[in-house]
Chains A and B, each alone.
Chain A
Amino acid sequence: MYAQMVKSTGQGVKSLDEMDPQERAFQERINAGDKIEPKDWMPAGYRKTLIRQIGQHAHSEIVGQLPEGNWITRAPTLERKAILLAKVQDEAGHGLYLYCAAETLGVTRDELTEMLLDGRMKYSSIFNYPTLTWADMGAVGWLVDGAAIMNQVPLQRTSYGPYARAMVRICKEESFHQRQGFDIMMKMANGTTAQKRMAQDALNRFWGPSLMMFGPSDGDSVHSAQSMAWKIKMNGNDELRQLFVDQTAPQAEYLGLTIPDETLNWNDEKGGYDFAQPDWDEFFDVLKGNGPEAANRMEARNKAWDDGAWVRDGMMAHADKKRAAKLAAE
């Protein structure tokens, strides 16, 4: 997802009996559906895992602006340009809501940014793929935001209060994102032969990477088990991937496009589609930093950070000067 393969403590989930009284009281609050707030006691592992997860989620929103930002100047109409601009601006907002949530855990936004820039923290694999045509703006909104919604809706109930509240805000805005994408796909799929070909090509390229967004099967990952016990991961990866395919397959059919998976087939017995797994070797390779656009993304983020330094410093110096002048006048 936007946060993929987040590591937690790496130790198995403790039973209530194995916990000391403080930790046990904490776990019991979570089991009872209580929200944990910033000043509450929490296990160090919970705090650390959340910083990793929320940080990775925030970075994904920020880096996720780049593939779409690529098309703002080349949108086919002024209206499409304005819509795409608003969508990308929302993603900046999502990044900021999430950085705020992470900051309540005792890390600063600048620290998080530096960890992204020097590669210590990751962002979602999906944003390392290029956006080659205007149809990709449709595919990204429809599939990428669609997959993100699958994971973000349940996270509104996550145990950490600031994270849950950020997710509520984000979810309110995501449905605009997905619908504007689908709207582009409808236009393209019903357009000229060339437009329809572009729409199909976009689906072909984004299908596998979208399935990868949910991360590989949890299997018996101790990280997933611990995160689920803490209610910072609400569903299994395979479960969400299935939901996504079940929701998306009929939409593709509506568009008259073909999902690039010959094995895709409705399975009456399980009440869902059978489908092929994406190329997990490719996923791990992209996660390692070898995605086709990985170097460009990091270069763009580093450039923005470095080129903006004088603005950040200048505005701070100006604010300090004004404060000093005001103090002197008092």
Chain B
Amino acid sequence: MTKQEWPLWEIFIRGAHGLSHRHVGSLHAPDAEMAIKNARDVYTRRKEGVSIWAVESSAIVASSPEDKGHLYDPADDKVYRHPTFFDIPDDVGAM
């Protein structure tokens, strides 16, 4: 009987040079070193990555789903942040 379950790690992978790391899933490992090794076996068997990050799941702070509305509200009434808000005459050329 195992006494203590290996901690859970979230795995992020850079798919190719120049791209950001992206969350691909999680896995269990006793420590960070093994998390990276396991991530190589579980998530990059077909050269899906050039770099791996492992973060202990318990270290991740997430916004909560209830925030969905008000956390992002402030963006609702600021359409002028988008370039399409402004009408630039065709005569001006590309801008």
Contacts and interface: CB of A to CB of B under 8 A. Distances in A.
B6 A103 contact: no
A93 B5 CA distance: 19
Contacts of B42: 93, 96-97
Give the interface size bracket for A toward B: 20 to 34
Interface string A311-325: 011011011001100
A309 interface: yes
Interface residues of B, number: 21
Contacts, number: 53
A110 B34 CA distance: 18
B78 to A, nearest CB: 25
Given A39-B64, A39-B65, A316-B30, A97 B2 contact: no
Interface stretch (B21-29, B69-77, B84-92): B21-29
B62 interface: yes
B65 A100 contact: no
B90 to A, nearest CB: 39
Interface string B50-77: 0000000000001011000000000000
A103 B2 contact: no
A115 to B, nearest CB: 14
Interface in A93-124: 93, 96-97, 100, 103, 108-110
A269 interface: no
A312 B25 contact: no
B57 to A, nearest CB: 9
Nearest to B28: A109
A319 B30 contact: yes
Contacts of B5: 108-110
A99 to B, nearest CB: 9
Interface of B: 1-6, 8, 25-28, 30-31, 34, 41-42, 45-46, 62, 64-65
Interface of A: 37, 39-41, 86, 89-90, 93, 96-97, 100, 103, 108-110, 165-166, 169, 173, 309, 312-313, 315-316, 318-319, 322-323
Q: Nearest 7 CB-CB pairs, A to B?
A: A319-B31, A319-B30, A315-B30, A100-B26, A110-B5, A312-B2, A40-B65
